[in-house]
Chains A and B, each alone.
Chain A
Amino acid sequence: MPIAIDLPTIWAFIIAFAIFAYVVMDGFDLGIGILFPAFAEGRERDSAMNSIAPVWDGNETWLVLGGGGLMAAFPMAYGVILSALYTPIIAMLLALIFRGVAFEFRWRDPRHRRYWDTAFTLGSIVAAFAQGITLGGLLQGISVDSRVYSGGWWDWLSPFSLLVGVALVCGYAMLGATWLIMKSEGSLLDHAYRLALRFGVATIVGMAAVSAWTPFLANEYYLRWFAWPQVLFTAQVPLLVAVASVGFFFALRHKRSYWPFLIALGLFALGLVGLGISLFPYVVPRAITIWDAAAPDKSLGFMLVGALIMVPIILIYTGYAYWVFRGKTGHEGYH
C-alpha cells in the first residue's frame, strides 16, 4: 500500500515514536518497580531505586507527549479511545501516582518505607497491566458512532486484552532486569541476570501468544499478515524476533552488560512494527483512519515546527542527563 508523505502520516510516526520512547524508557523503570519485591530490603532495593530516580520523570514525560500529541494531531481518536478505555486508563493514572510519589516518600519516611515500597510495586504492576489492557482493548476494536464512542464501560475486558496486559508486565520486567544488569554490581547483578532470563522467556512466550492470537481477532488482521505476497515482508517480523531471542539468551549466558538491554529494546521495536502492520493507517481499528481523525494541516504544521526543533534538542539533553548518571549505581545515592 503506498504511503503518501502528508502531515497526518508524519504525525502518526511521531506519535508512534513517542509511544515507543515511553514504552521502553518508562518500561525499564516500571520494570524495576515490578521486580522490587524480588530484591532484598536495604542495599539491593536502594541501588535499584537509585538507578532510576534521576531519570523516571523524564521518561514519563513521553507519556504526556503521546497523550498530548494524540489530542492535538488526532483529536477524534483521542476522545474515542480514551472514553472507550476509560477504566484501564484511569487505573493506570492512579497507579502512576502511587509509584511516582514513592520515589521521594520512601526516603522521607523510613518507618513506613515498606508501605511505599509496596505502593511502588503495586503501582508499577497495575500501570503496566493497564497499559497492556489498553493496547489489547484497542486492537480488539472499539465501537464508534458519529465521532464518539458508542460502547459500554466494560467492553475492553476480554481474555485477549488480559493476555496483552500480562505480556506487557513481563516485558517491562525484562527491560527492568536488563537495565539493572548495566547499572548494578555484586549480588544485585547476579540477581538481575537470573530475573532477566526468567522474564525474557515469559516475554517471548507472551509476544508469541499475542501475535498468534491477533490475526484471528478480525479477518482484516489475518489478511494483513498472511495474504500473498506481503507475507514475504510480514514473515520477517517473527523471524527477527526469533533471531533476537536467540541473541538475548546468548548475551545472558555470556554475562554481557549492555547487549541484553539493547536486544530487549529490539524486541519491543519489533513488537511496534508488528502493531504497525496490524493497524496502519487505522488509529481505531476498522473504524477511524489517521486521515479521518487528523486535525487540519494548520494545526499539524504548527506542531511539526515545534517537534522538528524540539525533539532533537530533547534527545540531546535527555542523553546528557543519562550521561551524567552513567555507570554503575551505588546504594547510597549520588555523591
Chain B
Amino acid sequence: MLDALDATILARLQFAFTVSFHFIFPSFSIGLASYLAVLEGLWLWTGRAVYLDLFKYWLKIFALAFGMGVVSGIVMSYQFGTNWSVFSDKVGPVIGPLMAWEVLTAFFLEAGFLGVMLFGMNRVGKGLHFTATLAVAVGTFISAFWILSANSWMQTPAGHAIAANGQFVPVDWIALIFNPSFPYRLVHTVLAAYLTTALVVGGVGAWHLLGGRKTEGTRVMFSMAMGMITVVAPIQILAGDQHGLNTLEHQPVKVMAMEGHFKSHADGAPLVLFGWPDMKEGKVLYDVSVPKLSSLILKHSLDAPLAGLDTVKRSEWPPVPIVFWAFRVMVGLGMLMLLLAGWSVLARARHALYDWPWLHRLALVMGPAGFVAVIAGWVTTEVGRQPYTVHGLLRTVDSVSPLEVPAVATSLLAFICVYFIVFGAGVHYILRLMSHAPQHGERGPDTAVPARAAGITPAPAVAANEGTG
C-alpha cells in the first residue's frame, strides 16, 4: 500500500511537472498565433511596413515557442498510457475520441501550415501565406476547444454511463462535449491565453521604451498590447466570476478549498483574504477576513448560508492550502492586470502612453504575470478536483499504472533534467530575440541562415525585396 501510494505521488508529480511546463507554451502560442494573424492582416490591409516588421519579429519567437509546445505536447499524449494506464483503460472510450478529434482537426492543421507560415513567405503568394497564418491561429483555438472539453468532462462528467467492465462509455456526445463546466472553462482559458500574450508583448515593448528604443515598432506593439489588456482584463474577471459560480454549483468542495471555508456559515460567510489553511486543525490560521463578503460574491446576498468542508468527509478533501494559495495568486495577478489596464487608459487619454516610465516599469514586471496566473489557475482547478481524476467517480489512486517506484522516480528525474536544459535554453533564446528592438526591415525565420550570425542587418534593400516578395 505504501509503495502504491509512493508510485502514485511520483506519477502525479510527473504529470503536474510535464503538464505545467507544456501549458506555458500553448498559453503563449494560442494568443501569439492570433496576434500574428492580426499583424499580417493589418499589413495586407494598410500596407504599413511596421506591421510586417512586427510580424516577422514575433514570428521568430513564435517558431521557438511553438516547437517547444509540440515536443512537450507529444509527451502528454503518451503520459496517459505510461503513467495512468488504468485511467486510460477506463476513460479512453470517453476522452480518447475528443483527443483524436483534436489531433485530426487541430494538430494537423497547425503543423501542416506552420511550415508555410514560417518559411513560405516568398514561395507562395501573400494571400496564401495569410491563409496559412490564419489556419495556424484557428488550429490553436480548435486544439484548445477539444482538450478543454476533455478536461472539463473530468471535472463535471456528463453524457456517459458506466459499463459492466468498469469503463466509462459515451451515451450522448453533445452532452459529453458540452458538459456543464466546459463553456466557462473554454472562455476563461482562451482569454487567459490572450492576456498572457498581450502581457508578454507589452512587457517587451515596455523594456525597449525604457531603454530609449522608441522605434515605431516598439510603440505600435506596446500600444496594441495595452489596448488588448484594457479590453480583455475586465472581461476575464467577469468570466472568472461566472466560472467560479459554475464550480460552486458542480464542484462545491473545490470552492470550499479555494475560499478556505472549513466551517459552515449559516448566516453569511466571510471572505478570507489571507491566512494559512491548516487541514489538521480544520481552520485557517492567522486569517484576515471580511465578514459576509464571500456570501455576497458567491450567492449575491450578505446573509446567504454557505456550507463548509465540515459537511464533507475528510477523505474527500483536496489539499486545501495548495488550492487556497494558487487561487489567491491567480486573483491577485488578475487585479494587477486590471490596474495596468486602467493606468494605460489614463496615459493614453493624456497622450503619454510612451512617456510614463512607471507605467512601463509595471508593464515590464507584469510581462511574465500571465504565465504565473495561468499555471496558478490550472493548479487551482486540477488540485481542487482531487482526490479524484474523474470528479466524484474515479479516484486518483485507482487510476495509476501498476508501475514500480524506481521506474517512475527515474523517469521523473529524467524529465526534470531534460526540461530544465532544453526549455531553459529555449527561454534563453526567446529572451535574446526579445532583447533586440524590432527593426525596420526585420528578417523572418526563413532567413535564419549562418550569415545572420553576424547580427541583424537592416539593409533598406532587404526591406524593399521582402515587401515585394
Contacts and interface: CB of A to CB of B under 8 A. Distances in A.
A77 B119 CA distance: 39
Interface string B404-433: 101100010011001100100110010011
A79 B401 contact: yes
Contacts of A75: 88-93, 96, 167
Interface string B425-469: 110010011000000000001111111010000000000000000
B402 interface: yes
Q: How large is the interface on A (under 10, 10 to 19, 20 to 34, 35 or more residues)?
A: 35 or more
A135 B310 CA distance: 52
B112 A321 contact: yes
Interface in A247-270: none
Nearest to B426: A101
A272 interface: no
A332 B449 contact: yes
Given A108-B432, A310-B104, A57 B114 contact: yes
Interface residues of B, number: 83
B107 A64 contact: yes
A205 to B, nearest CB: 31
Interface in A151-191: 152-153
B264 interface: no
B401 A318 contact: no
A143 to B, nearest CB: 11
A282 B445 CA distance: 46
A302 B160 CA distance: 14
Contact of A65 (B103, B123, B449): B103
Interface string A293-335: 0011011001100110011001001101100110000011111
A68 B96 contact: yes
Contacts of B63: 104
A275 interface: no
Contacts of A321: 112-113, 115-116
Interface string A70-96: 111111101111110011011001101
Interface string A224-262: 000000000000000000000000000000000000000
Q: Which of A61, A75, A76, A101 has the most CB of B within 10 A?
A: A75
B111 A302 contact: no
Contact of A104 (B64, B103, B122, B163): B64
Interface string B188-207: 00000000000000000000
Interface in A35-74: 42, 46, 53-55, 57-58, 60-61, 63-65, 67-74
A162 B115 CA distance: 35
Given A93-B78, A302-B170, A105 B112 contact: no
Contact of B77 (A68, A100, A333): A68
Nearest to A108: B429
Contact of B450 (A64, A69, A110, A311): A110
B100 interface: yes
Contacts of A81: 81
A332 B449 CA distance: 6
A150 B446 CA distance: 50
Contacts of A332: 449, 451
Interface string A14-29: 0000000000000000
A295 B407 CA distance: 29
B448 A107 contact: yes
Nearest to B415: A94
Contacts of B433: 108
B89 A148 contact: yes
Contacts of A303: 96-97, 100-101
Interface string A196-217: 0000000000000000000000
Contacts of A314: 104, 108, 112
B70 interface: yes
A65 B97 CA distance: 11
B173 interface: yes
Contacts of B415: 90, 94
A149 interface: yes
Contacts of A333: 119, 446-449
B418 A97 contact: yes
A318 B104 CA distance: 12
B67 interface: yes
Contacts of B113: 317, 321
A32 to B, nearest CB: 16
B78 A72 contact: no
Contact of B122 (A96, A296, A298, A334): A334
B338 interface: no
B28 to A, nearest CB: 15
A299 B123 contact: no
B134 interface: no
Nearest to A87: B407
Given A65-B104, A83-B85, A101 B402 contact: no
B459 to A, nearest CB: 15
Given A64-B77, A86-B403, A302 B446 contact: no
Contact of B403 (A53, A108, A153, A306): A153
Instruction: In the A-B complex, list the 4 residue pairs whose CB atoms are closest, starting with the nearest.
Output: A75-B92, A72-B96, A82-B81, A54-B115
16 contacts: A57-B115, A64-B73, A68-B100, A71-B92, A71-B96, A75-B92, A75-B93, A79-B81, A79-B89, A82-B85, A89-B78, A101-B67, A108-B448, A149-B85, A295-B93, A317-B109
Given A78-B88, A82-B80, A310-B105, 6 more contacts: A58-B112, A75-B89, A82-B78, A89-B78, A295-B92, A296-B93
Interface of A: 42, 46, 53-55, 57-58, 60-61, 63-65, 67-76, 78-83, 86-87, 89-90, 93-94, 96-98, 100-101, 103-105, 107-110, 147-150, 152-153, 295-296, 298-299, 302-303, 306-307, 310-311, 314, 317-318, 320-321, 324-325, 331-335
